[in-house]
């Protein structure tokens, strides 16, 4: 393996791809679609009281990720078996290029094209930045994570193209694998939620459930009306006690990892739109923050210790956003998801390298060498 | 360039040594038992019917496929255990050469040169020289897609030569070539052999091969059947068919019957006889003329190699 070899293959791939298709048009369409979505987002969510930057930013980043996951597999999912069909892979394999050179070169080329798509979307992220409410650091982190996620998508496509004889099969398998990551994880989380939910006794500090019965008994319609209508009693903080309550508790701390594998969760959680404690004032439409908080809440799982529910009178304002509260209880989930994706990516690259290595001992059915 | 002729360093013999190689794809036995030797400085022809295992053998020689059993040595290196060493020494031209459609002819060759880690300046000169050798210089800036089949074959040959290999493996190099290109290919192969390279050519075009090859290996049903030197002695002694025509067909037939030379009529009204070697053919012609038979045609119907090939593969078709 050498940088020279990787570069040779990458240059070859880029030349092939850039000349074979009309990339200017593809990038133009891509730019136009993202532009339309961004403008619509801006029109819909523009509110003089709220910074519309985070909302625009969330929409654009998710759109780039979603569309990227549709486009990027087409760069690699037919790369190796397509070359085999055209009889050009063996041409490289009989030279001094190592199999790792071929795999990494193809990967680098696909990644560079994915980066070109990202760069095309950059003006809209800059626009969102000008709208205010998001930091430059946040943009850089989410772009970095986005690039890493797209690199993993490239590698998975490359692996499937090395495993199957037909380009159609590898393209379908790649989309299925991505579908499992994006939709499968959410569906799996939703379904297993029932399995980890059980009735438990929680200790709560607050107004006991029977307080209202005791102090404000239901008015008897037949009784004579009281001489002076009494003001119904309001509980005060002094009425808060610690008591036990039977309730359903979902132990999502056992299944949160499914959400963490989702590329959208990884990107959202790596750079949520703003620190949760500032969120109430200018919340707006911030899907990334919601996803991030939801995933962290799932990781926090079932509540521990005594539940604080004594929000009465003066401290009502302190009543926190339950999501933000739970999210604060657990750490970020994206390092786990990104770690998993990167390990999968490395594994996929190793499989592809193994399958491109020659001389071949076992030849799968339907595969041709040259 | 290292000359491949004679014993290499460490007393290792150059050229190609294949012994008892076997390779199956699932239930299909592509190569059953092939042994052959191709020496440096010689053009060795690999001939055999379709599906006889020629291409599979070349894939194994080109370090792409592992044989199930048997050994291969390319300039003393094993393609399975030392693929790097073998790849540095071979030039492989596959049957039906695929190429990167979007690249120009020059870019294809420069890419391959880079893949052999040839420095750019050196590669440029090498590519330029090869473009002239295969007469593609005026198409150098064209996309490889627009090349005709024959032009693609010539590009494939240039590609195989780019690393100045000492062993050339050419799979059907003449297919799709026009007559002029065939003659040029023949000259290229001869000059490569004269430089001391080992040239192994698989082909169906036997008359072509007879003129260029020093040795022929005939394979059928995955087995090597016969290895034959194709020198003057071979042409002088090999059994060949000759076609005769005469103004007196009856007298010709009578005479042949009298001297007990079996003859059979062939389409076109001619008679075909077999003669072992050119000497006996010439003798037969002299006898016919002395007898006063007015011979108008006396021509070899098959080359000696063709006859040997047909004889060797007759019972196997």
Lowest-confidence pick of A67-76, A268-277, B212-221: A268-277
Residue B1 belongs to some domain of the structure = no
What is the model's pLDDT at position A281?
Answer: 46
What residue in A sits closest to B78 (Cα-Cα)? A359
Q: Which pLDDT band holds residue B2 (cuts at 50, 70, 90)?
A: very low
Residue B2 belongs to some domain of the structure = no
Q: What is the DSSP string of B201-259?
A: EE-S-HHHHHHH-SEEEEEETTEEEEEEE-SHHHHHHSEEEEEEEES-HHHHHHHHHHT
What residue in A sits closest to B117 (Cα-Cα)? A96
Q: B92 at the A interface (CB within 8 A)?
A: yes
Which residue in A308, A356, A324 sits closest to A9, CA to CA? Answer: A356
Q: In terms of domains, do A80 and A139 share one?
A: yes
pLDDT at B224 over 50: yes
What residue in B sits closest to A21 (Cα-Cα)? B102
Share of chain A above pLDDT 90, in %: 31
For A314-346, what is each residue's pLDDT tens digit? 555 455 555 556 556 677 888 899 999 999 999
Lowest-confidence pick of A103-107, A157-161, B161-165, B227-231: B227-231
Distance CA A338, CA A344 (A): 10
For B34-72, what is each residue's pLDDT tens digit? 999 999 999 999 988 888 889 999 999 999 999 999 999
pLDDT at A24 over 50: yes
Q: What is the DSSP string of A6-26?
A: HHHHHHHHHHHHHHHTTHHHH
Which residue in A224, A96, A162 sits closest to A348, CA to CA? Answer: A162
What is the model's pLDDT at position B315?
Answer: 60
Measured between CB atoms, which of A15, A20, A96 is closest to B88? A96
Which residues on chain B are in Cβ contact (under 8 Å) with A4?
Answer: 114, 117
CB B61 within 8 A of CB A356: no
Domain count within chain A: 2
Which residues on chain B are in Cβ contact (under 8 Å) with A97?
Answer: 115
pLDDT at B27 over 60: yes
Between residues A318 and A265, which one has the greater pLDDT?
A265
pLDDT at A292 over 70: yes
For chains A and B, CB pairs below 8 A equal 89
Residue B193 belongs to some domain of the structure = yes
Residue with tokens 């090869």: B130
Q: In terms of domains, do B300 and B157 share one?
A: no
pLDDT at A221 over 70: no
Contacts 24+ apart (CB under 8 A), B30-36: B30/B56, B30/B222, B31/B56, B31/B57, B31/B60, B31/B67, B31/B222, B32/B221, B32/B222, B32/B223, B33/B70, B33/B222, B33/B223, B33/B224, B34/B70, B34/B219, B34/B222, B34/B223, B34/B224, B35/B70, B35/B224, B36/B217, B36/B224, B36/B227
Measured between CB atoms, which of B87, B92, B101 is closest to A96? B87
Q: In terms of domains, do A241 and A116 share one?
A: no
Q: What is the CATH number of the domain that holds B260?
A: 3.30.70
Measured at the alpha carbon of residue B66, what is the angle toward residues B60 and B69, in degrees to the nearest 5? 100
Residue B3 belongs to some domain of the structure = no
Q: Which domain holds residue A265?
A: 191-214+235-329
Q: Which pLDDT band holds residue A274 (cuts at 50, 70, 90)?
A: low
Q: What is the distance in angstroms between the Cα of B271 and the nearest Cα belonging to chain A?
A: 45
What residue in A sits closest to B84 (Cα-Cα)? A96
CB B184 within 8 A of CB B135: yes
Distance CA A180, CA B88 (A): 44
Of B192, B212, B230, the domain-final residue: B230
Tokens of B180: 């002029």
ipTM of the prediction: 0.80
pLDDT at A273 over 60: no
Residue B117 belongs to some domain of the structure = yes
Distance CA A241, CA A239 (A): 6
Q: In terms of domains, do A165 and A133 share one?
A: yes
Q: Mean pLDDT across the stretch A166-172? A: 92
Q: Which pLDDT band holds residue B196 (cuts at 50, 70, 90)?
A: very high
Residue B135 belongs to some domain of the structure = yes
Q: In terms of domains, do B88 and B208 share one?
A: yes
Residue B124 belongs to some domain of the structure = yes
B198-202: strand order across its sheet: B69-74, B16-25, B28-38, B223-229, B215-220, B43-47, B198-202, B167-171, B90-93
Q: Which domain holds residue B269?
A: 234-316
Q: In terms of domains, do A89 and A202 share one?
A: no
A168-196 core/surface letters (b: 16 or more CB in 10 A; e: else): ebbbebbbebbeebbebbeeebeeeeeee
Q: In terms of domains, do B97 and B191 share one?
A: yes
Lowest-confidence pick of A108-112, A247-251, B130-134: A247-251
Distance CA A353, CA A162 (A): 8
Q: In terms of domains, do B39 and B121 share one?
A: yes
A298-307 core/surface letters (b: 16 or more CB in 10 A; e: else): bbbbebeeee
Residue A311 belongs to some domain of the structure = yes
Measured at the alpha carbon of residue A100, what is the angle toward residues A99 and A101, in degrees to the nearest 5? 90
Q: Mean pLDDT across the stretch A243-248? A: 82
Distance CA A63, CA A299 (A): 26
Q: In terms of domains, do B216 and B262 share one?
A: no
Judged by CB atoms closer than 8 Å, whether chains meet at B111 and A359 is answered as no
pLDDT at B1 over 70: no
What is the model's pLDDT at position B9?
Answer: 44
Judged by CB atoms closer than 8 Å, whether chains meet at A11 and B111 is answered as yes
Q: In terms of domains, do A156 and A252 share one?
A: no
What is the model's pLDDT at position B6?
Answer: 43
Q: In terms of domains, do A131 and A9 share one?
A: yes
Q: In terms of domains, do B32 and B124 share one?
A: yes
What is the model's pLDDT at position A219?
Answer: 63
Q: In terms of domains, do A103 and A49 share one?
A: yes
What is the model's pLDDT at position A330?
Answer: 74
Q: In terms of domains, do B223 and B251 share one?
A: no
Judged by CB atoms closer than 8 Å, whether chains meet at A95 and B116 is answered as yes
Residue A141 belongs to some domain of the structure = yes
Tokens of B77: 């290196």
Which residues on chain A are in Cβ contact (under 8 Å) with B98?
Answer: 86-88, 91, 370
Q: Which pLDDT band holds residue B247 (cuts at 50, 70, 90)?
A: confident
Q: Which pLDDT band holds residue B8 (cuts at 50, 70, 90)?
A: very low
Q: In terms of domains, do A148 and A209 share one?
A: no
Q: In terms of domains, do B150 and B281 share one?
A: no
Residue A367 belongs to some domain of the structure = no
What is the model's pLDDT at position A226?
Answer: 58
Q: In terms of domains, do A351 and A314 share one?
A: no
Q: What is the mean pLDDT of chain B?
A: 85
Distance of CA B164 to the CA centre of its chain: 20
Q: In terms of domains, do A130 and A256 share one?
A: no
What is the model's pLDDT at position B299?
Answer: 81
What is the model's pLDDT at position A312?
Answer: 65
Judged by CB atoms closer than 8 Å, whether chains meet at B80 and A4 is answered as no
Q: Which pLDDT band holds residue A347 (cuts at 50, 70, 90)?
A: very high
Q: In terms of domains, do B135 and B30 share one?
A: yes
Judged by CB atoms closer than 8 Å, whether chains meet at B66 and A361 is answered as yes
Judged by CB atoms closer than 8 Å, whether chains meet at A94 and B92 is answered as yes
Q: In terms of domains, do B77 and B145 share one?
A: yes
Residue B90 belongs to some domain of the structure = yes
Q: In terms of domains, do B212 and B301 share one?
A: no
For B86-108, what is each residue's pLDDT tens digit? 999 999 999 876 888 889 999 99
Measured between CB atoms, which of A9, A15, A90 is closest to B64? A90
Of B200, B230, B260, the domain-final residue: B230
Measured between CB atoms, which of A9, A91, A358 is closest to B83? A358
For B112-128, what is each residue's pLDDT tens digit? 999 999 999 999 999 99
What is the model's pLDDT at position A316?
Answer: 52
pLDDT at A155 over 90: yes
Q: What is the mean pLDDT of chain A?
A: 82
Question: Which residues are bridge partners to B242 per DSSP?
Answer: B273, B300
Q: In terms of domains, do A140 and A207 share one?
A: no
Judged by CB atoms closer than 8 Å, whether chains meet at B98 and A94 is answered as no
Domain count within chain B: 2
Measured between CB atoms, which of B62, B98, B116 is closest to A86? B98
Torsion of CA A88, A94, A97, A99, to 10 degrees: 80
CB A261 within 8 A of CB A337: yes
Integer CA distances (angstroms), B126 to A246, A254, B2, B193, B253, in order? 84, 64, 17, 19, 61
CB A270 within 8 A of CB A288: no
Q: In terms of domains, do B211 and B246 share one?
A: no
What is the model's pLDDT at position B160?
Answer: 94
Between residues A177 and B259, which one has the greater pLDDT?
A177
Of B230, B246, B278, the domain-final residue: B230
Q: B70 at the A interface (CB within 8 A)?
A: no
Q: In terms of domains, do A12 and A102 share one?
A: yes
Helix boundaries (H) for chain A: 3-20, 23-45, 53-71, 73-76, 79-86, 89-93, 99-131, 136-163, 167-179, 185-195, 211-215, 256-260, 263-270, 287-300, 322-329, 334-356
Q: Mean pLDDT across the stretch B210-232? A: 82
pTM of the model: 0.82
Lowest-confidence pick of A34-43, B223-232, B248-257: B223-232
Lowest-confidence pick of B16-20, B80-84, B206-210: B206-210
Residue A364 belongs to some domain of the structure = no
Count CB neighbours of B135 within 10 A.
Answer: 14
Distance CA B261, CA B293 (A): 15
Which residues on chain B are in Cβ contact (under 8 Å) with A96?
Answer: 84, 87-88, 115-117
Q: Which pLDDT band holds residue A177 (cuts at 50, 70, 90)?
A: very high
Residue A352 belongs to some domain of the structure = yes
Residue A227 belongs to some domain of the structure = no
Q: Mean pLDDT across the stretch B231-235? A: 67
Q: What is the CATH number of the domain that holds B209?
A: 3.40.50.300
């Amino acid at each position: 393996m050498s940088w020279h070899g990787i570069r040779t293959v990458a240059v070859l791939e880029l030349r092939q791809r850039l000349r074979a298709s009309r990339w200017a048009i593809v990038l133009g369409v891509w730019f136009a679609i993202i532009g339309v979505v961004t403008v619509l987002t801006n029109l819909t969510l523009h509110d003089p009281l709220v910074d519309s930057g985070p909302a625009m930013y969330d929409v654009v980043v998710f759109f780039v990720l979603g569309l990227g996951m549709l486009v990027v597999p087409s760069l690699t999912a037919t790369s190796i078996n397509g070359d085999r069909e055209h009889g050009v892979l063996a041409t490289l394999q009989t030279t001094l290029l190592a199999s790792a050179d071929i795999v990494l070169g193809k990967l680098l080329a696909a990644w560079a094209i994915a980066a070109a798509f990202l760069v095309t979307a950059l003006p809209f992220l800059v626009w969102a930045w000008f709208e205010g409410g998001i930091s430059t650091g946040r943009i850089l982190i989410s772009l970095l994570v986005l690039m890493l996620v797209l690199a993993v998508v490239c590698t998975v496509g490359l692996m499937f193209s090395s495993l199957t004889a037909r380009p159609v099969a590898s393209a379908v398998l790649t989309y299925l694998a991505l579908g499992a990551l994006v939709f499968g994880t959410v569906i799996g989380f939703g379904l297993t939620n029932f399995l980890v939910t059980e009735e438990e006794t929680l200790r709560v500090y607050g107004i006991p459930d029977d307080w209202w019965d005791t102090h404000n008994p239901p008015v008897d319609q037949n009784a004579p009306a009281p001489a002076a209508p009494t003001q119904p009693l309001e509980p005060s903080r002094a009425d808060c006690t610690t008591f036990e309550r039977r309730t359903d508790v979902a132990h999502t701390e056992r299944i949160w990892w499914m959400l963490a594998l989702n590329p959208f969760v990884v990107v959202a959680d790596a750079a949520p739109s703003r620190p949760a404690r500032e969120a109430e004032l200018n919340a707006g439409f911030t899907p990334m923050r919601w996803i991030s908080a939801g995933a962290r809440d799932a990781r926090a799982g079932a509540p521990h210790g005594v539940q604080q529910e004594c929000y009465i009178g003066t401290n009502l304002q302190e009543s926190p956003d339950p999501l933000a509260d739970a999210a604060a209880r657990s750490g970020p989930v994206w390092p786990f998801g990104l770690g998993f994706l990167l390990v999968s990516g490395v594994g996929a690259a190793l499989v592809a390298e193994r399958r491109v290595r020659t001389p071949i001992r076992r030849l799968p059915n339907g595969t041709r060498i040259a | 360039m290292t000359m491949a002729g004679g014993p290499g360093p460490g007393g290792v013999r150059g050229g190609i040594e294949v012994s008892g190689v076997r390779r199956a794809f699932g239930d299909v036995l592509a190569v059953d038992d092939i042994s052959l030797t191709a020496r440096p400085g010689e053009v060795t022809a690999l001939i055999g019917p379709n599906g006889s295992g020629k291409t599979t053998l070349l894939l194994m020689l080109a370090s792409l496929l592992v044989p199930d059993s048997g050994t291969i040595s390319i300039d003393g290196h094993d393609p399975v255990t030392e693929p790097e060493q073998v790849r540095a020494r071979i030039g492989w031209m596959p049957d039906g050469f695929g190429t990167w459609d979007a690249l120009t002819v020059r870019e294809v060759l420069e890419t391959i040169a880079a893949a052999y880690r040839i420095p750019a300046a050196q590669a440029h000169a090498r590519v330029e020289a090869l473009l002239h050798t295969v007469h593609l210089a005026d198409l150098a800036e064209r996309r490889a897609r627009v090349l005709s089949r024959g032009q693609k074959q010539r590009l494939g040959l240039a590609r195989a030569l780019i690393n100045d290999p000492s062993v050339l493996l050419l799979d059907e190099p003449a297919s799709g070539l026009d007559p002029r290109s065939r003659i040029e290919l023949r000259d290229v192969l001869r000059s490569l052999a004269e430089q001391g390279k080992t040239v192994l050519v698989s082909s169906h075009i036997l008359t072509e091969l007879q003129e260029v090859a020093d040795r022929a290996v005939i394979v059928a049903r995955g087995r090597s059947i016969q290895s034959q030197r194709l020198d003057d002695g071979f042409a002088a002694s090999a059994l060949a068919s000759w076609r005769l025509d005469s103004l007196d067909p009856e007298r010709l037939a009578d005479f042949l019957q009298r001297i007990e030379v079996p003859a059979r009529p062939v389409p076109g009204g001619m008679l075909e006889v077999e003669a072992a070697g050119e000497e006996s053919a010439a003798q037969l012609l002299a006898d016919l003329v002395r007898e006063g038979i007015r011979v108008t045609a006396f021509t070899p119907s098959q080359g000696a190699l063709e006859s040997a090939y047909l004889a060797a593969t007759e019972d196997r078709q």
